[in-house]
Amino acid sequence: MSNDSVNSSGAAKAVRSRYSEVQGAARFPVKLPIHLKSQAGEADTESDNISANGVLFHHDIDMPIGSTIDFTISLPADVVGAEQDVKVECRGRVVRADGQDGRRGVAVVIDEYRFERR
């Protein structure tokens, strides 16, 4: 067995391990507007659920597992008690993508985030 195949399977195991760690966070079935920016372009969607570690949404475009995605989640002003919507700019990695009803369910782990200041 070559070192490449050992390293590949080791890397895959490490990704699965990290994903199972973040998968344990409580998920909340919240529909929030999301603006996506990826290699495939820009698009709008909404969350299916969100947790402290990530977000699940559905989208028409294939997003490969492991790909990086930038996205902005809009928190409605009336929900957060602000005068205008609060934007959370996020960068994450696609950890799961599967088809359902002609659309792809995409699970993203949030690696970085910051609140947009106005």
How far CA 22 is from CA of 35, 42, 95, 109, in Å, comes to 22, 26, 10, 8
**What is the Cα–Cα distance from 3 to 114, expressed in whole angstroms?**
39
Name the amino acid, one letter, at 100: Q
**What is the Cα–Cα distance from 89 to 116, expressed in whole angstroms?**
7
**What is the Cα–Cα distance from 9 to 11, expressed in whole angstroms?**
5
Which residue range forms the structural domain that includes residue 107? 3-115
Main-chain phi, psi angles of 67, to 5 degrees: -75, 150
- Tens of pLDDT along the chain (118 residues)? 444 444 444 544 544 445 454 567 898 999 999 999 987 789 999 999 999 999 999 988 888 999 999 999 999 999 899 999 999 999 999 999 987 667 789 999 999 999 987 6
**Structural domain count, the chain:** 1
pTM, 2 dp = 0.75
Domain at 94, CATH number: 2.40.10.220
